[in-house]
Structure 1
Amino acid sequence: MLTRKSKLVLTKIFSFFSVIRGYNIWVVALAQYLSAIFILAPEKRALDIILDWRLFLIVLASTLTIASGYIINNFYDAKKDLINRPKKAMIDRLVSQETKLKVYFGINFVVAFLMFFISWRAVLFFSTYIFLIWFYSHKLKKMFLIGNITAAVLAVLPFFGILMYYKNFYNVIFAHAIFLLSLILIRELIKDLENIEGDLVADYKTIPVVFGEKMAKTIMTVLTISTLIPVYFLIEVYDVGYMDIYFYLSLIGLLFFTLLLWKSSSKTDYLKLHFLLKFIIVSGVFCIVLIEPSVLIHGKKLISTY
């Protein structure tokens, strides 16, 4: 039988897991490793990449930075979350704001310390990343359109940390990044529709708050159509092997998403659409293994000749 003290400790651990959204962080770490193996450094052996201690530190620093970002975001969004996510907010409140801040600063110190073993550029990159997350949570998140764009950019920045490590600046990589950025931006807009009630109370200048739901849906539809551009390049120009199956299916999923979007009107409807987008994004992580490294290497050689 667990003692009362043990139950309290487990409850606080569960609360912190909820604050840092641990269920999301492991997906980011997996995506970074798969991106390194199949996209960023396909010419290297998978085992060499997995055993690379420098890459491990970069991935660890990325996950810790994202965790600290969730903590500071939770700190500033406490009032808004009580309206939009009352059950989750009550769980998150089991850990005091003071404790959250102590852990936040502690994690950031650990990240900076770890990056000293890589290079001063790594320290600069992650220090900037940490600052941008704080500035987004403190100021930018409430600003019209800037908040959405910043959130999307911050979500893909960890992958650029690995990109800088391998120094493989090929067009095919940026095509992947643009597609992912578009999906995340659409997800940010659907979250605004989902959380419009709390945003109104907390004075967040989101697109649905400023221009209404119809305009937000129109912008999301345009963004969804625009994903055809990077998908065309990834399938027809650069050749990503069997991962083209994922892109075809994701376009079908996005078409289904758009049709449901214009029929949606309640928070429950938007929540379902949010999960659909998250499924498409997470599926993309696992489908990276469908890329044929030899095909990608050949494509890189062709690109480098121009």
Structure 2
Amino acid sequence: MFTRKQKHILLKFFSLFSVVRGYNILIIVIAQYLTSVYIFAHDKPAKKVLLDFNLLMLVLASASVVAAGYIINNFYDSEKDLINRPNKSMLDKLVSQNTKLSFYFVLNFSAIVMASYVSFNPVLFFSAYIFAIWFYSHKLKKRPVVGNIVSALLTIAPFFAIFIYYKNFDTVIFVHASFLFLVIAIRELTKDLENMKGDLALNYRTVSVVYGEQTSKKMITILIGLTLIPLYLLINRFQIGHMNYYFYGAVTLLIIFLFLLWNSTTKTHYVILHNILKVIIVAGVFSILLIDVDLVLKRIL
């Protein structure tokens, strides 16, 4: 049995884990390693990539900056989250704002130190990334369209750090990135629809608040149409192994998403839509393994 003190410490741990979205950080770390092995450095032995200390430093620096980003975002959105996510907000409040801010600075400082082990360029990149996240949370998040675009760009930025490290300029990488960017942009607009109540109460000028639900749905529909371009190219123009099955599945889910979108009117509906997009993104991370099934089998056997 846990003592009261142990329970309190455990609750604070879960609170901090909730604030930094630990599950998202784990997915990002896995995604960076998989993209390194199968896309960015596909011509190098998998073992050499996985044991690359510089790559480890870049991945840990990315994880630290993203975690810090979630903290500063939580700091600025605490009132809005209390309306939109009351249960999560109560858990997050178990850790004081001062403690959160202390972790924020520690994580960012740690990221710069880890980046410095690689070279000066990653230090510049992560310094700019830290500032961009703060500026987005402080200023840009409440601006329609601009806030959505910047948020989507910040989400894929950790992969840009790996891209710079390996200096791989294959066209397929940009096509993969464009698909991911579009799906994340769709998610951002869907989150706006999901969080309209809190956004309205605190005067967040999101697309759904300023232009209305119908305009948001039309924009999402256009973005889904645009995803068909990278999807077509990835399936028909590039060698992606069995990952094409994932993209066929993604098309199916996006069609279902579109049908549900135009029949959605409540927060619960939009939460379901948001979860569909999460499935597409997370499944996309693990489907990278399908690019080279033989490599996976060799590592297992």
Q: TM range, normalised to the smaller chain?
A: over 0.9
Once residues 155 and 188 of structure 2 are traced to their aligned partners in structure 1, the CA distance between those partners, rounded to angstroms, is 11
Alignment-mate amino acid for residue 30 of structure 1? I
Pairwise mapping of residues 216-295 of structure 1 onto structure 2 (< 5 A)?
216-292=216-292
Bigger drift between 230-239 and 277-286 goes to 230-239
Counterpart of 1:299 in structure 2 is none
Once residues 293 and 32 of structure 1 are traced to their aligned partners in structure 2, the CA distance between those partners, rounded to angstroms, is 18
Residue-pair matches, total: 294
Alignment-mate amino acid for residue 119 of structure 1? S
Alignment-mate amino acid for residue 193 of structure 2? L
Counterpart of 1:95 in structure 2 is 95
Pairwise mapping of residues 98-137 of structure 1 onto structure 2 (< 5 A)?
98-137=98-137
1:40-73 CA-partner distances (Å, limit 9, x unpaired): 1111111111100110110011111110000000
Counterpart of 1:199 in structure 2 is 199
Corresponding position: 1:142 with 2:119: no
Once residues 215 and 224 of structure 1 are traced to their aligned partners in structure 2, the CA distance between those partners, rounded to angstroms, is 14
User: What's the secondary structure of 1:291's corresponding residue?
Assistant: helix
1:218-256 CA-partner distances (Å, limit 9, x unpaired): 110110011010111111122212111111110011000
Alignment-mate amino acid for residue 104 of structure 2? Y
Once residues 126 and 293 of structure 2 are traced to their aligned partners in structure 1, the CA distance between those partners, rounded to angstroms, is 29
Counterpart of 1:301 in structure 2 is none
Alignment-mate amino acid for residue 236 of structure 2? E
Pairwise mapping of residues 48-197 of structure 1 onto structure 2 (< 5 A)?
48-197=48-197
Counterpart of 1:300 in structure 2 is none
User: What's the secondary structure of 2:214's corresponding residue?
Assistant: helix
Alignment-mate amino acid for residue 131 of structure 1? F
RMSD: 1.1
Deviation at 1:203, TM superposition (A): 1.0
**Unaligned ranges ≥5, structure 2:** 295-301
Deviation at 1:116, TM superposition (A): 1.1
Contact 1:36–1:42 under 8 Å retained in 2: yes
Contact 1:243–1:288 under 8 Å retained in 2: yes
Contact 1:39–1:293 under 8 Å retained in 2: no
Once residues 110 and 226 of structure 1 are traced to their aligned partners in structure 2, the CA distance between those partners, rounded to angstroms, is 38
Deviation at 1:293, TM superposition (A): 8.9
Once residues 45 and 256 of structure 1 are traced to their aligned partners in structure 2, the CA distance between those partners, rounded to angstroms, is 39
Once residues 2 and 37 of structure 2 are traced to their aligned partners in structure 1, the CA distance between those partners, rounded to angstroms, is 43
Deviation at 1:169, TM superposition (A): 1.1
User: What's the secondary structure of 1:44's corresponding residue?
Assistant: coil
Once residues 243 and 117 of structure 1 are traced to their aligned partners in structure 2, the CA distance between those partners, rounded to angstroms, is 34
Corresponding position: 1:34 with 2:72: no
Once residues 150 and 258 of structure 2 are traced to their aligned partners in structure 1, the CA distance between those partners, rounded to angstroms, is 23
Counterpart of 1:8 in structure 2 is 8
User: What's the secondary structure of 1:12's corresponding residue?
Assistant: helix
Deviation at 1:2, TM superposition (A): 2.1
Once residues 286 and 4 of structure 1 are traced to their aligned partners in structure 2, the CA distance between those partners, rounded to angstroms, is 40
Contact 1:43–1:293 under 8 Å retained in 2: no
Contact 1:42–1:293 under 8 Å retained in 2: no
Once residues 292 and 92 of structure 2 are traced to their aligned partners in structure 1, the CA distance between those partners, rounded to angstroms, is 43
1:133-173 CA-partner distances (Å, limit 9, x unpaired): 11111111001111100110000000010000000011110
Counterpart of 1:208 in structure 2 is 208
Bigger drift between 1-10 and 132-141 goes to 1-10
Deviation at 1:3, TM superposition (A): 2.1
Alignment-mate amino acid for residue 146 of structure 2? I
Contact 1:58–1:161 under 8 Å retained in 2: yes
Once residues 217 and 73 of structure 2 are traced to their aligned partners in structure 1, the CA distance between those partners, rounded to angstroms, is 26
Once residues 151 and 72 of structure 2 are traced to their aligned partners in structure 1, the CA distance between those partners, rounded to angstroms, is 14
Contact 1:75–1:97 under 8 Å retained in 2: yes
Once residues 221 and 145 of structure 1 are traced to their aligned partners in structure 2, the CA distance between those partners, rounded to angstroms, is 15
